[in-house]
Amino acid sequence: MNKPIVVKVVKSGVRFNAVDSQGNKYTGQITTGCRKKAYANGNAIEQRTNKSGNVYWRQVPMSVYEATESAVSMPAASPSEVVIPDGHEEMVDFIKNSYGLKPKGLIMNPLKWKYLIRSAVRGKNIMMTGQAGCGKTLAAKSLVNALDRPNFYFNLGATQDPRATLIGNVHFDKSKGTYFSESLFVKAIQTPNAVILMDELTRAHPDAWNILMTVLDQGQRYLRLDEADGQNTIKVADGVCFVATANIGNEYTATRQLDKALLDRFTVIEMDLLTDEEEHGLLAYLFPTVDSAMLHNVAKIAFMTRSEAATDNPRISSGVSTRTSVEIAGLLFDGFSLEESADITIYPQYDADGGVDSERTFVKQIVQKFIDDGSNDDLV
């Protein structure tokens, strides 16, 4: 399958030239109006073929072009080259220009990314919220990579023993007798300038929240090894930044409503759901060899289910997440059809009770339109 042609519009004097990532020009094949509009919107333009075999050009997110560019260009500068300044004026400039640190594979509002960087370099506790699969953990890990700081990862939602994970364990050895071994978390908080990622905080046991209260309090910043008076405490090192992810809402099973005192210790950044074009750009970046029109169908299916779930009287309880879209794109890359991919990844997420009126039947009808038509022209 041939790769689609994707071009970027470059203004030269009064001309708007269309050039692909290898320098080939397509200016004469695209109308002036299309090129000017793409340039004004900051978009790229992709060549497509309709069901009749006719070629046309359509605006796509710039990330689609960047996906083709990454295959022929040199890798970006290493994060180790990032130097965080000490002076205030230099820090302001660093934060202002921080969007350049965002990886191409992360689709995130520029203002929110800048706020994320600022919160991290200022030592704030950050909580990334949003629907499941919207990219919270990816954004947090991208922050770690962008700043090139020591980092530690803890999935608190999977922790059965919060005390063992966050403090440590008491052991017995015949030669040593009873002794205490500190957890990795204790080491993490003593590492200067570390970024500590705490995933799925809303799934954590309340005991974990109680332990974290003093750790996250800007006026205290210490971990008590034992609740008894007089026991040792561990001070949080300078520059340590805590980043938590949370699914906030009653629709998520096994999640708990966060204690308000704990929530107040965080700067909250809500991750936005991607539009279909943004999701298409992400999928094209991750899987540049998969047919772009097919990836656009995947993104459109996800967007349509999310739109339905957000209505006042939704026929489904939730939409297809970006995480699921990425999984489907991976299956397409490995030779699965869209129908097979949906059968494996999408349908099991929806209730089949109710027959033709069930959630699963409704979602199948959405997907089937794309399978039957091979396009989304009649669904836009």
Percentage of the residues of the chain whose pLDDT score is greater than 70: 89
Count: domains in the chain: 3
The residue out of 270, 293, 316 marking a domain boundary is 270
- Residue 347 CA to residue 273 CA, distance in Å, equals 20
Domain limits at 9?
Answer: 1-73
Q: Supply the CATH number for residue 232's domain.
A: 3.40.50.300
Average pLDDT over residues 7-29: 83
The residue out of 248, 270, 292 marking a domain boundary is 270
pLDDT digits (tens, 9 = 90+) for 99-156: 888 887 788 888 899 999 998 888 889 999 887 777 788 888 888 888 888 889 998 8
pLDDT digits (tens, 9 = 90+) for 244-278: 988 765 444 445 677 788 888 999 998 888 888 88
Q: Give the chain's count of helices (H) and strands (E).
A: 14, 13
- Please report the pLDDT score of residue 366 as a whole number: 94
- Please report the pLDDT score of residue 336 as a whole number: 94
- Please report the pLDDT score of residue 51 as a whole number: 74
The residue out of 73, 94, 126 marking a domain boundary is 73
* 194 bridge partner residues: none
- Please report the pLDDT score of residue 191 as a whole number: 93
48 and 103 housed in the same domain: no
Ranking 138-147, 232-241, 244-253, 335-344 by mean pLDDT, the lowest is 244-253
**Is the model more confident about 97 or about 378?**
97
214 and 293 housed in the same domain: no
161 and 296 housed in the same domain: no
208 and 191 housed in the same domain: yes
304 and 240 housed in the same domain: no
- Residue 32 CA to residue 283 CA, distance in Å, equals 28
Annotate 202-212 with b (16+ C-beta within 10 A) or e (fewer).
Answer: bbbbeebbebb
- Please report the pLDDT score of residue 73 as a whole number: 36
CB within 8 Å of 117: residues ≥ 6 apart: 95, 98, 101, 143, 146, 147
- Nearest 10 degrees: Cα torsion 201, 205, 208, 212: 50
Q: What are phi and psi of 127, to 5 degrees?
A: -120, 120
343 and 322 housed in the same domain: yes
Residue 76 has pLDDT above 60, yes or no: no
165 and 235 housed in the same domain: yes
pTM: 0.66
- Please report the pLDDT score of residue 179 as a whole number: 67
158 and 251 housed in the same domain: yes
378 and 248 housed in the same domain: no
Residue 81 has pLDDT above 60, yes or no: no
**Is the model more confident about 283 or about 232?**
283
251 and 139 housed in the same domain: yes
113 and 34 housed in the same domain: no
**Residue keyed to tokens 């020009």:** 25
- Please report the pLDDT score of residue 252 as a whole number: 43
Q: Which long-range contacts (CB under 8 A, 24 or more apart) does 159-167 make?
A: 159/204, 159/205, 159/208, 162/204, 162/205, 162/207, 162/208, 162/211, 163/207, 163/211, 165/208, 166/208, 166/211, 166/212, 166/223, 167/211, 167/223, 167/225
- Please report the pLDDT score of residue 249 as a whole number: 52
131 and 64 housed in the same domain: no
- Please report the pLDDT score of residue 227 as a whole number: 54
- Closest-CA residue to 128 (of 218, 207, 241, 210): 241
- Please report the pLDDT score of residue 2 as a whole number: 53
Average pLDDT over residues 7-11: 87
Average pLDDT over residues 361-374: 86
- Please report the pLDDT score of residue 344 as a whole number: 95
CB within 8 Å of 67: residues ≥ 6 apart: 6, 104, 281, 284, 285, 286, 288
Average pLDDT over residues 343-348: 95
